[in-house]
Amino acid sequence: MSIVTARRISQIFFFLLFLWFCIVATLGEQWWQLRGWPVNWLIQLDPLVGLGTLLATGTLYAGLLWGLLTVIVTILLGRFFCGWLCPFGALHQAVGWLANRGRKASMMIAANRYRRGQGVKYALLVFLLAAAAGDLIGRLLRVSIDSPAKAAGIVAVMLVLIAGAARAAKRSVKRWTAGIVMAAIGVAALSLLTDGSRLLAASLQTGLLDPIPLFYRTVNLTLLPLVDGRLISISAASRLYPGVFAMGALFWAAVFLNLAVPRFYCRFVCPLGALFGLLGKNALWRVGQKADGCTACGACDRYCEGGCEPATVLRSPECVLCMNCLAACRHDVMGFHQHASAAGEISVPDISRREFVATLAAGAAAVPLARLAGMTGEAWNPAVIRPPGSLAEGEFLQRCIKCGQCMRICPTNVIHPAGLQAGIEGIWTPVLNFRMGTSGCQQGCIACGNLCPTAAIRPIALDERLGKGTFQSRGPIRTGTAFVDRGRCLPWAMDRPCIVCQENCPVSPKAIFTREEYRPIRLGGDIRLQGITGNRLLIEGPVLPSDQLATGDYFVAIDGRRNIPPARIADIGSSGITLADNPFSGAAEKGDRVTLLVRLQQPYVDPSRCIGCGVCEHECPVKGRRAIRVTAENETRERRHRLLL
Amino acid sequence: MTETPIDRREFLGRCTRAGFSVAAAGALGFGFYDSSGPDGLSGAGASVKIPDFSIPDMKGKLCIARGTVQGMDRAATVRAAFEALGGMKAFVKPGERVLLKVNAAFASPPTLGATSHPDLVAAVVRLCLDAGASRVTITDNPINDPASCFALTGIDTAARRVGAEVVVPREALFERFTVAGGRLIRDWPVLYAPLARSDRIIGLAPVKDHHRSGASMTLKNWYGLLGGRRNIFHQDIHTIIQELAMMIRPTVVVLDGTQSMLTNGPTGGSLSDLKPTGTLIVSTDPVAADAVGAELLGRTAADLPYIAKAERVGAGTADYRSLNPKEIQVS
Amino acid sequence: MKTTAHKKPGKIETRLSMAFMAILLIAGAGVFMRQFRINPAVVALRPESHQQALPSDPDQSAVVDTTGSKLAPFSPPERFGPDTLYEKINGRADLYLSSGFVSLSTQRFSMDNAAGNWVEVFIYDMATPENAFSVFSMQRREGARADGTVPNAYRTENALFMAHEKFYLEIIGTDASDALQQATGQLARAFVQTHGGATVASAPGADMFPASGLQAESLQLVTANAFGYEQLDRIYTAEYLIDGTRLTAFVSDRQTAAAAAALAAQYRQTLVSYGAASADAPHPFEGAAVIRFFDTYEIIFSRGKYLAGIHEAGSLEAAGSLAGQLAGHLERLGE
């Protein structure tokens, strides 16, 4: 079996595995449902997820340790993940192959030549990791300056460091180190002059471009909902995700750019590929030419997936180990050796020190800039309701990779990707939208936290969610609080009986309660009493809407008989109004004015009971902008948002 | 294919570097491995500590100084009152740093009596400096904009004149604090930096009616050390005052009853809300001081539930007469 | 894809490839093995996860004893009093509260823990058998059919309703499947067994109506305010079909014959005061009052300690004949 065949089988295997993981990510115990399928395995194997969260939080969460395996193999062999494992790469390779069919060799060789732009992905990687590393830098630099002696000490250390760095820079040794030291000194100096608390912040944005979360997200949110239907029913109800257009557009742009340059995304954009390029610098075995025998026919360049130019000086950080050059070479010159390519090799990623420092600084500076919007503090958006178990906003943004697994698994389809409501950093992070979906957030469900690969939504137990057992003292997890919009609510604003929110409130005792009020209804004119027979009131006046009034919510009062409580209308007939029970016998006279009342049960929310599940909002019959809506007030995850003591 | 020595050396070098890389990656991976994930109790880290500023020998000292009801001289009165308790030297030792927690809650002029009077502030600062204090700091976290509060109340000018430093609160000066045994002040931002940099703390408060708590005097004054969305505590005002009494054990408090705000507290706004009461209390027991102040408002300690609550947690005694108060008359 | 230069792969290459295929196999097997370890998110959906969350209070015994059957409680028993009844049944609470409601106990039962399929039992304690029968009879569903296995019970597509002693029971299945409907019967029988057995059960008041023309399952007991008249309480009604005409007969067992006669007279008076008139038609028998009320007829009489009559009859002829029949039946009953 040739190595190229093995690679193809591997790519197909992992691509199908990926698709399978996407399909089975639906709650249930059938073999085609979630069961125990390790649907996050490919995300966990992606070391950029692990590295990003490690930089942002200082911890490597459970399954992300799988990324270490990938890292080790990459250090030893190079970018095997790109050529053999990555399902997104496999897709690009397939599309690129389709696009190249029938093209001349010269065209293909031209398309596969190395371009300076391939260095962009390293810049993107540095930018994204620097954005995630703000807190880490802060922790490293964190010294409390509370005495002049300490300040003097720090200044002295800094002077020594500056002198050392200047000397190092002068001797051009370890230039990068010098640059980093200089930057650190700059930050430290700024910290000394300012509070420092705002200069550094961490935000994990690798997920925007990291191919594995990107592919998961796109398939979960923009592709599966399209094919979900009659033949294969993947989810209980067909899915909607407002605002995924940009998400899909990014995906299709990445796919169609393969027509211009094969594996465009992998070569120019992919920050994960860039990470592998850096890691594989010292790979023990590498693709390259033997010392002699090359006729410079260019056949190896023709099918090169990485655009690393094996025919001439090989750019080893670009090589994705597709092994096509081995198969294509008629002279058996190409091989996988311990030594560098005989025609020369550049094993350093194509990013200059200047670019490196600039993107590093830009990444570290971008997050504090974004934080000036105050979305994680004072200017928090109450419309951002995070799934139950989510961490406080700052920590949440240090973990969420926008992979969309929570949105995919949510049985009621209430978890949606955010647009800009959670700030520029929060784009495509999960928020609850109770206007959509099949119901609110289900009390007995803990799916999102158990699917989250990075614990941005914690894997809570049912007891913790419900506030039972050992969690009794903490109470149930609240995602927000429902507020009645009295200007839109039917019984509050429009004199129409409705207790849908109260009836549907799933917590016990109910968080929504009602208070009764009787209000006169509008009629075309006065109603006068003509006589009473048994339970019937004979009346004179405008024609009454009998269907509406006989529903049990309408009552009769007779003016001037204030001590008699209103009597319920049982029926409206040609002969008058039939009451369920007639308290007026002998107490009213002919000619008395009759008032028809509607009994309204006006809803109130008890904030100490409400968990913000949104079932009321979902069920509210005012369908456009609901008359009862949940906002994030009193959510458990942010103590600062609490409403009650 | 021949292998040159250079190739071999290069390969060995690469092996070493790759080996180190693998080891480093493994160390990072396993070193920071976290199998259980975050616990979701954000910010539950170690809380800062606020020291006890009281002086053991001076427990239960109380002086009630009465002056002329109309136009009492605050400076002279407070001097005499401290003198009666052994002078400021008994409270502030040479070289100590003193924090004056004034009431600068509102951006209103001193005449309206809603805030600490600048004359009194200046007099207490002078007493401290005369006693040898190395530095006197004045602070409060007001309800209105801090800078305008300090300016309009006249405290800023007065402080500058006598050489005290005004610390205007800003985010970086707050630290999260938990009162041991407390229910409300848990992981809550407290104006900590000025506290941490001081050896003694003196509370300076006017006697005021308060819409929620009944009265705002020396105990309620510590509310101005809280940050964050503290108005949530108005849901349980007496308990928060109790916890404030647990949080701050002051060196001494000065309760200014030269005039008392009897109505429309705590903001007042009209001279008709004020009544000259010609009394100034200096006490190491803030509960006793407030008990005296309650009488100036025409109430008793029993009318103010927070006094009993503060007494219960050992912040002082409501029965101020049991302290044998020194009562002096200042003409 | 034609990327190869048509050459035979070398031995090492083949071995490496094979080794890699082995790794893929292991990965695939690993993934397959992993799927047996059910995700906690899925476990949380199982009924027993919710059961586990229940307090294991021994006092909270099931509302119906199901030991020895395939049914098992799957939620804790819940109890509601007059103040909290609305929490469980909302709008329908009024009916129970006005009929002597004491308490409601509910619990869900499921078979083999099949998620999504359960039977919920509602047991209303109505203080007296009459009250229980009253709420039972007044809410009789359309399309109901009698249940042969337990007395005073009827079934709808997915539920069983029954009055037994002072209890009114609703046993409601989540669907109409045979298995669940057998379960409803099982629960009903278990309840009857533990509450005095089937012998004590009979519809109160059933013997007061003559059998001929009586519509099955039409007996109702109105505890108060019958036909909208305050003085009429404890009135049994039954539907008859006489000569193609639907008629409603009513009987009430009073304390004494005098009380019954007085109530009959009082009722007649009330109707007249509301605008009814004595009908011109001949009285069907001695002591019976025939009253015309708009376009319907009301026949009122007393026999012994029974107040009786025909309510809102469309045809006087049929009403008269049924009234005679009823009077005869009550006379025999009085002997």
**A155 part of a folded domain:** yes
> How many distinct structural domains can be found in chain B?
1
Kindly tell me if the per-residue pLDDT of A624 is higher than 60.
yes
- With an 8 Å Cβ cutoff, are B25 and A75 in contact? yes
Q: Does the pLDDT of residue A135 top 90, yes or no?
A: no
- pLDDT, position C53: 42
* Residues A512, A505 contacting (CB under 8 angstroms): yes
Q: Is residue A609 part of a domain?
A: no
Q: How confident is the model at residue C185 (pLDDT cuts 50, 70, 90)?
A: confident
Kindly report the nearest CA distance between residue B290 and chain A, in angstroms.
Answer: 26
Domain of residue B98: give its range: 56-329
Contacts of A579 in chain C (CB under 8 A): 228
Any domain includes A500:
no
pLDDT score at B4: 62
Do A104 and A241 share a domain, yes or no? yes
Kindly state whether residue B239 falls inside one of the protein's structural domains. yes
The reply to whether A38 and A113 lie within a common domain is yes
Contacts of B311 (CB under 8 A, 6+ apart): B287, B317, B318
Q: Does residue C57 have a pLDDT over 60?
A: no
Tell me: pLDDT of A247 over 90: yes
Chain A residues within 8 A of C40 when measuring between CB atoms: 446, 450, 459, 461
- Band (A276; pLDDT cuts 50, 70, 90): very high
Domain count, chain A: 4
Region C306-321: mean pLDDT is 86
Q: Is A616 exposed, middle or buried (0-12, 13-18, 19+ CB in 10 A)?
A: buried
Residue A232 confidence class, pLDDT cut points 50, 70, 90: low
Does A357 map to a domain?
no
pLDDT in tens, A325-352: 988 888 888 888 888 888 888 988 888 8
In a domain, A148, yes or no: yes
Per-residue pLDDT of B219-230, as tens digits, reads 999 999 998 888
CB contact under 8 A, A4 and C24: no
Mean pLDDT over residues C152-172, rounded?
86
pLDDT(C3) > 50:
no
CB A474 within 8 A of CB A409: no
pLDDT digits (tens, 9 = 90+) for A79-108: 999 999 999 999 999 999 999 888 888 889
Average pLDDT over residues A436-440: 88
A95 and A224 co-located in one domain: yes
Beta-strand relationship, C245-253 and C306-313: antiparallel
Cβ of A389 within 8 Å of Cβ of B42? The answer is: no
Nearest CA to B119 among B102, B105, B94?
Answer: B102
Domains (range + CATH), chain C = 60-200 (no CATH), 206-334 (3.40.1000)
Please give the structure tokens belonging to residue C92: 């329908």
Is A499 within the bounds of a domain? no
Average pLDDT, chain C: 80
pLDDT at A6 over 80: yes
Testing the interface with A: which of B3, B11, B28, B42 to mutate, by most A Cβ within 10 A?
A: B42
b/e per residue A579-601 (b: at least 16 CB within 10 A): bbebbbbeebeeebebbbbbbbb
pLDDT (0 to 100) of residue A81: 96
Nearest CB neighbour to B33, from listed A60, A392, A643: A60
pLDDT at A142: 60
How large is the average pLDDT for residues C197-223?
76
- Tell me which amino acid residue C332 is: R
Contact check, Cβ <8 Å, A645/B29 = no
Beta strands A536-540; A576-579: pairing state: antiparallel
Q: Which portions of chain B are predicted below pLDDT 50?
A: 1-2, 44
Look up residue A258 and give its two tokens: 């393969």
> Does A121 share its domain with A138?
no
Question: CATH no. for residue B101?
Answer: 3.40.50
The CATH number covering residue A474 comes to 3.30.70
Segment A277-301 shows an average pLDDT of 88
β-pair type (B326-329, B62-66): parallel
Same domain as A339, residue A220: yes
What's at A197, amino acid-wise?
S
Given A464, A479, A494, which residue is the final one in a domain?
Answer: A479
A298 and A249 share a domain? yes
In A, residues 331-350, which contact B (CB 8 Å cutoff)?
Answer: 338-340
- Domain range holding A448? 393-479
Subunits adjacent to chain C (3 or more Cβ pairs under 8 Å): A
Which whole number is the average pLDDT over A65-80? Answer: 94
More confident: A145 or A334? A334
Is the confidence at residue A227, as pLDDT, over 90?
Answer: no
Q: Is residue B115 part of a domain?
A: yes
Residue A377 lies in a domain: no
The DSSP line for C274-294 is TT-EE-SSPPSSTT-EEEEET
State pLDDT tens for residues C19-32. 999 999 999 999 99
Give C64-113 pLDDT, tens digit per residue: 877 767 777 777 788 888 877 777 776 677 778 888 888 898 888 877 65
Are A220 and A84 found together in one domain? yes
Tokens read off for C106: 């509910």
Identify the pLDDT of residue A262.
92
Q: Do C20 and A10 touch (CB under 8 A)?
A: yes
Distance from C-alpha of A399 to C-alpha of A205, rounded to nearest angstrom: 9
pLDDT tens-place string over residues A442-452: 988 999 999 99
The answer to whether C107 and C73 are in contact (CB under 8 A) is yes
Residue B305, sorted as left (phi over 0), alpha (psi -120 to 50) or beta, turns out to be alpha
Partner-chain contact C24 A330, CB within 8 Å: no
Do residues A217 and A319 share a domain? Answer: yes
Residue of chain B whose Cα is closest to the Cα of A377: B228
A508-557 per-position pLDDT tens digit: 788 999 898 999 998 888 888 888 887 888 888 888 887 788 888 899 98
What was the ipTM of the complex prediction?
Answer: 0.84
Residues B55 and B85: their CA atoms lie apart, in Å, by 13
- Separation in Å, CA of A602 to nearest CA in chain C: 14
Instruction: Give B11's contacts in chain A (Cβ within 8 Å).
Output: 284, 338-339
C245 class by beta-carbon count within 10 Å (0-12 exposed, 13-18 middle, 19+ buried): middle
In 3D space, the residue among C150, C190, C192, C178 whose CA is nearest the CA of residue C68 turns out to be: C190
Q: Are residues A47 and A182 in the same domain?
A: no
Q: Is the per-residue pLDDT at C44 higher than 70? A: yes
**pLDDT tens-place string over residues A175-212:** 666 666 777 777 677 666 666 567 778 899 999 999 99
Chains A, C: CB pairs < 8 Å: 139
Q: Is residue B96 part of a domain?
A: yes
The pLDDT of C129-156, averaged and rounded, is 80
pLDDT of residue B204: 93
| Residue B263, domain member (yes or no) | yes
Comparing C-alpha atoms, which of A443, A514, A426 is closest to residue A477?
A: A443
CB contact under 8 A, C230 and A510: no
- Alpha-carbon A304 to chain mean position: 35
Cβ C42–A36 below 8 Å, yes or no?
yes
